[in-house]
Structure 1
Amino acid sequence: MKKKVTMQDIADRLNISKNSVSQALTGKPGVSEVTRTLVQNTANELGYDYPNSRKQKLADKKMSSNIALIASDYAFSLKSFFGEIYLSSEKEVRARGMNLFIEPIDNESKKNLTLPSVLSNHDIDGILILSHISTEYISKIISTGIPTVLIDHHSPYLKADSILTNNRFGAFTAVEHLIHLGHLDIAFVGNVDISPSYQERFEGYLLALKKHGIKPNENLMLTNVQENQDEISLFLDNLQDQPSAWFCVNDGLGFLVSSVLQQRGFKIPENVSICSFDNGQLSQILTPKITTMDIDLSYYGKKAVEQLCWRMENKEDPIQEILLPTKLIIRESTSEKR
């Protein structure tokens, strides 16, 4: 008669504790996914006889989950930023043995609140929403009851988990860097109405000024600018006093401000310092390269998928907002005030 395989047999084969085997086979926390998979594969190889309930759970797990990644056409077009997050999300989904379905949302669908076709054409287990579409549209998606995680967007009206950059503290760090270099007249450039991220970066700018006893100068704050050279030039034309440094909410504006200033004869950083945010390609191709706040975009996507998988298993737990840190990358565009 064939000997019945026990958990101890599996533990001996893998040289791990029986308790770890039990945790892996019963689905309890306490072991890594790598160990859990190794234990399950060894159990199958040795012919371990699972309890009936566990057999069913394992059978269910073999059916791959389907994940939908949704974003506006505009977000998908920003390949240097959201493209990297999308690719890292896709990589993590595949690594977890799940299927990923991608669907861009055009303006017509957003306006008419037409749900993505992927939700009706496939059995979707979880949704990733990349950046902002509209509060009404995202609310309709959330109302389907499918576990949803927002990436780089949040709102008091949206009841879903969010993976976010710590924009306030990142901007604080950037502006404090300029202050430590002796700059007191620091301009702010960005459209705070476009994204909560930009509003939060503006708040971080103000927080740094307050921390160091610098009175904010409204004449140096351009808070509703579009990303084009004409608007930057117009702002410069109307400035009574030239700032010694500029903080720009993204690298695109940092690039534009630097270019316009150089066209007007300003030397960077001899005459003026520039600091931006995101550490994208535009911060690296200009001469001099721009000091900026770095965001780990590959970790962004990985963390979003990790949170979605957790949410799929914990649907009733409180909503979470997870803030990811930034890092100051000091380049040639900032120096001590002269």
Structure 2
Amino acid sequence: MAQKVSMQQIADRLGVSKYTVSQALSGKEGVSDATRKEVAAMARALGYRVRNGGGTDGTINRDLQVEQGNDAPMPLVWIGLDERHTHEPTFWQRVQQGIEAGCAEHHLRPHFFTFQRDHSSTSPVQILLNEESFNHVSGFIMVGKCPSETLLLINRKGLPIVLVDHEEPVILADAVLNANIEAGRMACHHLLSQGCRSIVFVGRDSFAVSFRERFWGCRLALEESQSQSAKSSKYSLQSASNSLLTGQEPRIELQLKKWTVPYGGPSWRQSLERRIQAAVDVYSSQEAEEFAAGAASLLPGGFVCANDEIALALMQLLQSREIPIPAGCRVVGIDNTAASLEAAVPLTTVDLAKEWLGIRAVESFVRKRLRPEAQHEKITLSARLIIRASG
């Protein structure tokens, strides 16, 4: 069962005061329409409920309160979660909160279960499908990367399926996704606009499709910048030759590299530390000030990390080696977790949907139940760059 949501939690997510949230939810003056709508949307996403008689604004109350249905049993929807994500609080638990809020709004009864990344004949999914309670299931919402074999097994039941943050070509199903390619593209373009000519992407393709797509976005941004540069001849061979003849410094070619770290395993931080150490070892015998300056020259101008957790670990490692951020190296994360704002150097990041990813998945599920003959949809929620001190 979801925990009770407080006004302070809503305020923390939006970066406003608890007083502002209270004023907005109660319909009182002193709060702009835009802020009032943001508060109502976040409250709805978190599953906040206004007490009876607790507000004077009828619209907000109608938006936040779920009317009691009749005595008919609520449809049962099974919601599968990748077992690796069940205790991850910064992203996946917030997606789950959105699903719970969406189910409450649409009078659905959620039943959560976990699936394993590697399908087996004794997987929890296969056991669940053979249970007597399955006869009452109205469909599935599958969250995260699910094995194709597991999805095929579920698909044989002929019930609606909605995939969250994952696509599967072997079955027909609706999918609700974040704009992961656009997130990587935004992050990389931002670093390029700050003068970074060498960029490293840190992640692990096999961990999640979203990680791979975020790297594709970085690569797309670099190709776009190179194409634009070629048109203006800024980075052409002829331009470099002319620079040498005139004694001017030739422009540096744009570069994008990838550091693969075993994210999701127990040793990924150590792997990342070794990567950084390898880049600065040559300066290990120099004084601290010279070491920092030299290390910065060996490291790229900027890093795009597959998520905020990797970015925050990277910044700690850089700072422990006295490499200043952003003067020595810029860092951009993706996801906009609470920790990204609370870091010693607040992290520049790309905001992606969390609670709304879950809410939209439920809405898609309701649509498929009401109109099973409708064309399958792929819903992509937009990304937003948040510029802070790290880059």
TM-score, scaled relative to structure 1: 0.75
Give the structure 1 partner of residue 338 of structure 2: 281
Unaligned runs of 5+ in 1: 1-33, 35-40, 42-57
Write out per-residue CA displacement over residues 140-181 of structure 1, whole angstroms, 9 at most, x where no aligned residue. 112211101011111322421110011111111111111111
Q: 2:321 aligns with which of 264, 267, 270?
A: 264
**Which sits farther off after the overlay, 117-126 or 76-85?**
117-126
Equivalent pair of 1:244/1:271 in contact (CA under 8 Å): yes
- The AA in structure 2 aligned to 1:247 is V
- State how far apart, in whole Å, the 2-side matches of 1:132 and 1:315 are: 24
Write out per-residue CA displacement over residues 275-312 of structure 1, whole angstroms, 9 at most, x where no aligned residue. 01001133223210111111131211111000001111
Deviation at 1:80, TM superposition (A): 1.7
Equivalent pair of 1:248/1:275 in contact (CA under 8 Å): yes
Write out per-residue CA displacement over residues 314-336 of structure 1, whole angstroms, 9 at most, x where no aligned residue. 223332211110111111101xx
Deviation at 1:232, TM superposition (A): 0.9
Give the structure 2 partner of residue 172 of structure 1: 185
- State how far apart, in whole Å, the 2-side matches of 1:195 and 1:110 are: 20
1:245 aligns with 2:302: yes
- Report SS of the residue matched to 2:195: coil
- State how far apart, in whole Å, the 2-side matches of 1:65 and 1:121 are: 12
Equivalent pair of 2:197/2:254 in contact (CA under 8 Å): no
- Structure 2 CA distance for partners of 1:78 and 1:120, relative to 1, 3 Å: farther
Q: 1:103 aligns with which of 109, 113, 122?
A: 113
Q: 1:234 aligns with which of 252, 257, 274?
A: 274
Deviation at 1:269, TM superposition (A): 1.1
Deviation at 1:236, TM superposition (A): 2.0
Deviation at 1:134, TM superposition (A): 1.6
- The AA in structure 2 aligned to 1:117 is L
Matched ranges for 1:78-227 at <5 A: 78-105=88-115, 110=120, 112-113=122-123, 114-115=125-126, 117=128, 120-122=132-134, 123-213=136-226, 217=255, 220-226=257-263
Deviation at 1:117, TM superposition (A): 2.3
- Structure 2 CA distance for partners of 1:238 and 1:108, relative to 1, 3 Å: closer
- The AA in structure 1 aligned to 2:352 is I
% of aligned pairs identical?
22
Number of aligned pairs? 278
Deviation at 1:192, TM superposition (A): 1.0
**Which sits farther off after the overlay, 81-90 or 153-162?**
153-162
- The AA in structure 2 aligned to 1:189 is V
Deviation at 1:194, TM superposition (A): 1.6
Give the structure 2 partner of residue 76 of structure 1: 86
- Structure 2 CA distance for partners of 1:312 and 1:154, relative to 1, 3 Å: same
- State how far apart, in whole Å, the 2-side matches of 1:253 and 1:120 are: 43
Unaligned runs of 5+ in 2: 1-61, 63-67, 230-252, 281-297
- State how far apart, in whole Å, the 2-side matches of 1:211 and 1:105 are: 39
Equivalent pair of 2:118/2:147 in contact (CA under 8 Å): no
Equivalent pair of 1:254/1:276 in contact (CA under 8 Å): yes
Give the structure 1 partner of residue 360 of structure 2: 303
- State how far apart, in whole Å, the 1-side matches of 2:326 and 2:78 are: 45
- The AA in structure 2 aligned to 1:74 is R
Q: Which runs of 4+ in 1 moved over 6 A?
A: none
Give the structure 2 partner of residue 8 of structure 1: none
- State how far apart, in whole Å, the 1-side matches of 2:254 and 2:191 are: 15
- State how far apart, in whole Å, the 2-side matches of 1:165 and 1:140 are: 26
Write out per-residue CA displacement over residues 191-232 of structure 1, whole angstroms, 9 at most, x where no aligned residue. 0122111111010000111111186646x3113543622111
- State how far apart, in whole Å, the 2-side matches of 1:199 and 1:108 are: 19
- Structure 2 CA distance for partners of 1:120 and 1:160, relative to 1, 3 Å: farther
- The AA in structure 2 aligned to 1:70 is G
- The AA in structure 2 aligned to 1:238 is A
- Report SS of the residue matched to 2:300: coil
Equivalent pair of 2:119/2:149 in contact (CA under 8 Å): no
Deviation at 1:188, TM superposition (A): 0.7
Give the structure 2 partner of residue 320 of structure 1: 377
- The AA in structure 1 aligned to 2:133 is N
- State how far apart, in whole Å, the 2-side matches of 1:111 and 1:74 are: 19
- State how far apart, in whole Å, the 1-side matches of 2:116 and 2:273 are: 32
Equivalent pair of 1:192/1:224 in contact (CA under 8 Å): no
Equivalent pair of 2:117/2:146 in contact (CA under 8 Å): no
Give the structure 1 partner of residue 25 of structure 2: none
- The AA in structure 2 aligned to 1:194 is F
- The AA in structure 2 aligned to 1:226 is Y
Deviation at 1:273, TM superposition (A): 0.7
- State how far apart, in whole Å, the 2-side matches of 1:178 and 1:108 are: 37
- The AA in structure 1 aligned to 2:184 is A
RMSD value, Cα: 2.6
